[in-house]
Amino acid sequence: MERTTILYEQPAEGVARIVLNRPEMRNAQDTRLLYELNDALDEAAHDPAIRVIILAANGPHFSAGHDIRETGHLETQAQFRPVGTQAGYRAPGAEGRMAREEEVYVGFCERWRNIPKPTIAAVQGSCISGGLMLAWPMDLIIAADDAKFVDVTVAMGIAGVEYFAHPWEVGVRKAKEMLFTGDPLSAEEAKQLGMVNRVVPRAELEAQTLALAQKIARQPTFAVKSAKLAVNTAQDAQGRHAAFAAAFAMHHLNHSHAMEVHGVPVDPNGIHGGVRKAYKEGEEPFRRPAATSASS
């Protein structure tokens, strides 16, 4: 796959660094970026010379989240081989939207979480909504001191991002506050809550993340793989997967509600009317499917 939005580097022996390279869009995730990122992570996962994977980003911000301005997303998706077994992305109504999001959002995040090698996210600047879905599946998060983590989806009429890890990442009480208010978490607060492993000066983010990756790369690979599986299994035994499935269903109930009330999949008055200003009604991916009329 020719990558235009992702860089793949090997900065040290045993370490792959995958870099989001769409800084002009604040690394907003369009369909191409997500498939290219998945392809790069697959390459690192299958390369026996790679022991640790770093996910980083070019520019001042880690990721502004989903690129809701993207047009022609179904045509772009058709260029890539599906990773999961979902189908019917062009089906009208909730059926098509839910199938697509199960592929490119929840499906990808689950795959990345379960890569049998340690992964580290290096986060600087803003990590907004869908950006959390890039950092959270990684095993460790190293944050620059200027990093901020925020989920603004409730302000857009949605219960939370598709990969609903909030209660596990920051705890139940803070998860509710994070969602209800849309207020950001600073890097230091995220560290205190256990979501972030380390906070480092912005200028040292790349070097300190690489140093940690090299330290982990010296460990026996099978033992590290087994330890990761043991921790992930403990988390799954708490009901993580079932809770995620329920949250994903509510996410799409909210999309369907917004389509019925507003004709677009999010509340256009959200974030003090900013959604309406940013995204024109009738423009993809907000266009009603052809099989659905405005009166339905």
Q: Look up the CATH number of the domain holding residue 193.
A: 3.90.226.10
Residue 293 lies in a domain: no
CA distance 34 to 174: 28
Q: How many domains does the chain have?
A: 1
CA distance 235 to 255: 28
Residue 1 lies in a domain: no
Provide the pLDDT for residue 272: 53
Residue 190 lies in a domain: yes
Residue 180 lies in a domain: yes
Distances in Å between the alpha carbon of 141 and those of 35, 62, 147, 212, 246?
A: 22, 12, 11, 11, 26
Residue 283 lies in a domain: no
* Eight-class DSSP state of 66: B
- Say if residues 144 and 200 touch (Cβ distance below 8 Å): yes
pTM for the whole thing?
0.91
| Length of the chain (residues) | 296
Provide the pLDDT for residue 283: 41
Q: Which domain holds residue 125?
A: 6-278
Residue 288 lies in a domain: no
Mean pLDDT for each 10-residue chunk of the chain (296 residues)?
Answer: 95 98 96 98 98 98 93 93 94 96 97 98 98 98 98 94 98 97 97 98 98 98 98 97 97 96 88 51 39 30
- Helix (H, G, I), strand (E, B), or coil: what is residue 293? coil
